[in-house]
Structure formats: structure tokens, C-alpha cells
Structure 1
Amino acid sequence: MIGVPMPNPRDSLIANLNQQLDQFFGTGRSVQEVAPGVSGEREMMYGSSHSNKLKIERDKLAPRLKQLADAGKTVIEAAKEMGMEAKRARLIARENNIKFPGPP
């Protein structure tokens, strides 16, 4: 209607949110804290089909890299044996919590 002030959309959103909070806590529910890492989110990882394919390929190489780390090879030696760059081997090790002896 002309001449009637429009309600503030922010106020209606806040009222709606407060109503939902009252309804949630009114049924006896409580707030739960989710521990870091449990949600499945990874730091600095953005989902795209290409990066997911690359991650799958790196995950296939991780068991062999783990075997080499357990055998006492350094990152550089393991990377040479697998025919890859040391930088990629370090990335795979970091993603899969593989610890190498010696210098990084």
C-alpha cells in the first residue's frame, strides 16, 4: 500500500530465527559441540571434480610411500624410487600423516 512503511526485512529475519530457536530448545534439545576434524571438512581443500580426481590418485600411491617410510627411506629416496618429484611425495605424506626419517 502506498504511504505505509515497509517492515524492515532484518527484523523479520531475526524474529523468524528467534522463533526457530525457541522451538528447538523448547523441545528439550541442546547445543552440541563438534570436535575439529569430525565434520569431514579439510583445511584449505576446495571441492572440485578435478582436485578430487588428483586426490584419489595420490591416495593410491600412499600405501607404497608408507612402506618406503617404514623401511627407513627419506622423502627424496622414496620419491626417486617411485618415480615422482619430492614435492609430490611430501604432499602425499602430509595428507596421509606419513612420517619420514631424516631431513624433510
Structure 2
Amino acid sequence: MIGVPMPNPRDSIITNLNQQLDQFFGAGNTVQLIASGVSGETSLSGASGHSERLRTERDKLAPMLKALAATGITSSAAATQTRIRQKRIELIAREHGFKFASSK
């Protein structure tokens, strides 16, 4: 209709959401607190199997790298010695809770 103001779409969405909230709480449902970073969603791309395989490979390298870290060398020296990328070595150290000496 010409000359008749259009209703604001945002207002109708807010009204609908408020109605749904009233129905939810009116039915006796309660709010659940979900911890940050926790989700029930999983990826459907199939990458989780690949990620798990990479993680198990890193877990196999961890004891050797932890022994190297205990000798007091830096992550770059460990990378040179083991021919593993430094970023991967630092990731393994972070995942397993040990640190390499800092370079000065």
C-alpha cells in the first residue's frame, strides 16, 4: 500500500524472539551454562582423523624432544639437530608442558 509506513523488520524479529523465550521458560525449561570452548559440534569434513594422526606422531616425538630440552638447548638448535621444523618442535613442547632454553 502506498503511503502506509512499513513495519520495522527488526521489531518483528525481536517480538518473535521474545515470544519464543516466553514459551521456553513457560514450559519449565531452564538455561544451561556451557563452559567456554566446549561444544557438541564436530566437523563433518573428516579432518578430525587426520588431526588425530598428526597428534599421535607428535606424541611419539615428545620424549626425545623433552630429553633435548632438559640438556638446555634452544628450540632452534633442536630443530637443526633433529631436522624437524622449529614451529613443530615448539608446538610439541607446548602440548606436553616443557620448555626449551631461550636464545639470548
Fold shared, TM-score > 0.5 on shorter chain: yes
Contact preservation (8 Å) 1:66, 1:98: yes
**SS of the counterpart of 1:84?**
coil
The equivalent of 1:90 in structure 2 is 90
- What percent of counterpart residues are identical? 46
Q: Does residue 14 of structure 1 match 2:14?
A: yes
The equivalent of 2:68 in structure 1 is 73
Give, as a single letter, the amino acid of the residue that structure 2 aligns with 1:80.
Q
**SS of the counterpart of 2:97?**
coil
Residues 32 and 14 from structure 1, CA distance in 2 versus in 1: closer, same or farther, beyond 3 angstroms? same
Aligned-pair RMSD on alpha carbons?
Answer: 3.3
Q: How does 1:6-85 map to 2 (within 5 A)?
A: 6-39=6-39, 55=51, 58-69=54-65, 72-74=67-69, 75=75, 76-77=77-78, 80-81=81-82, 83-85=83-85
Unaligned runs of 5+ in 2: 70-74
The equivalent of 2:72 in structure 1 is none
**SS of the counterpart of 1:87?**
helix
Residues 12 and 24 from structure 1, CA distance in 2 versus in 1: closer, same or farther, beyond 3 angstroms? same
Whose radius of gyration is greater, 1 or 2? 2
Residues 99 and 35 from structure 1, CA distance in 2 versus in 1: closer, same or farther, beyond 3 angstroms? same
- Structure 1's consecutive aligned runs of 4 or more residues displaced over 4 angstroms after TM superposition are 51-57
**SS of the counterpart of 2:68?**
coil
The aligned length equals 93
For residues 81 and 26 of structure 2, the distance between their equivalents in structure 1, rounded to whole angstroms, comes to: 62
Contact preservation (8 Å) 1:93, 1:99: yes
**TM-score (structure 2 length as normaliser):** 0.64
